[in-house]
């Protein structure tokens, strides 16, 4: 009887280990998104709207906890800051490199690069962008959940992701013969 119980337990362990979800890889992460972020930094905490379309292509707007409406956008070829109808644009980002907005954008730009992330746990990765950081992601969707940059004392929690939509322009005009 005892051998039967041990054999059954061993078989159950083998079956259950085969049902485990595969380990998440860096390539599974979704770096293009539109969400809200709760950001903690040395100067306090803010809630922001955050959009990221790719490297050096991001926008961030403070919703609460700071000067609501202050926004920054990075577009591969320039940077813009906007607040209460006043805009300042330039070729380079004018924010300090250790500001939470710069840290957030620069870290995610670095994290998206091939071979820049090392898996540390099931859904956690670490990397270096001139400073060490860790990020966690939802294993089901690949959406980034948290970003932690201890050296800069910046922590971000991402949530309320917008649904991605597919858009296409259809040309329904008949093709001439």
Tens digit of each residue's pLDDT (9 = 90 or more) over 55-112: 999 999 999 998 999 999 999 889 999 999 999 999 989 899 999 999 999 999 999 9
The Cα 56–Cα 52 span in angstroms is 9
- pLDDT of 155 strictly over 70: yes
Pairing verdict, β 57-64 and 33-41 = unpaired
Token pair 């090392």 is at which residue? 118
Distances (CA, A) of 142 to 25, 29, 79, 81, 145: 9, 4, 28, 30, 9
The vertex-113 CA angle with 107 and 116, nearest 5°, equals 75
Q: pTM (2 decimals)?
A: 0.79
For residue range 107-152, what is the model confidence (pLDDT) as tens digits? 999 999 999 999 998 899 999 999 999 999 999 999 999 999 999 9
- Helix ranges, the chain (H): 2-18, 100-112
Q: What are the residue ranges spanned by the domains of the chain?
A: 32-115+153-159
CB 125 within 8 A of CB 144: no
What does the CA dihedral 43, 49, 54, 56 come to, rounded to 10 degrees? -40
Distances (CA, A) of 114 to 28, 58, 135: 12, 19, 15
Task: Note the pLDDT of residue 170.
Answer: 56
């Amino acid at each position: 009887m005892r051998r039967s119980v041990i054999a059954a337990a061993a078989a159950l362990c083998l079956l259950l280990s085969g049902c485990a979800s595969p380990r998440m890889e860096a390539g599974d992460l979704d770096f293009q998104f539109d969400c809200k972020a709760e950001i903690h930094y040395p100067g306090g905490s803010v809630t922001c709207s955050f959009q990221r379309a790719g490297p050096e292509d991001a926008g961030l707007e403070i919703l609460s906890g700071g000067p609501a409406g202050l926004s920054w956008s990075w577009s591969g070829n320039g940077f813009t800051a906007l607040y209460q109808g006043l805009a300042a644009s330039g070729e380079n980002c004018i924010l300090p490199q250790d500001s939470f907005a710069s840290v957030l954008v620069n870290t995610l730009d670095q994290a998206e690069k091939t071979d820049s992330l090392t898996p540390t746990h099931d859904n956690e990765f670490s990397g270096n962008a001139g400073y060490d950081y860790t990020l966690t992601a939802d294993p089901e969707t690949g959406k980034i959940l948290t970003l932690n940059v201890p050296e800069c004392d910046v922590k971000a929690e991402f949530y309320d992701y917008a649904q991605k939509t597919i858009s296409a322009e259809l040309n329904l005009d008949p093709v001439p013969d």
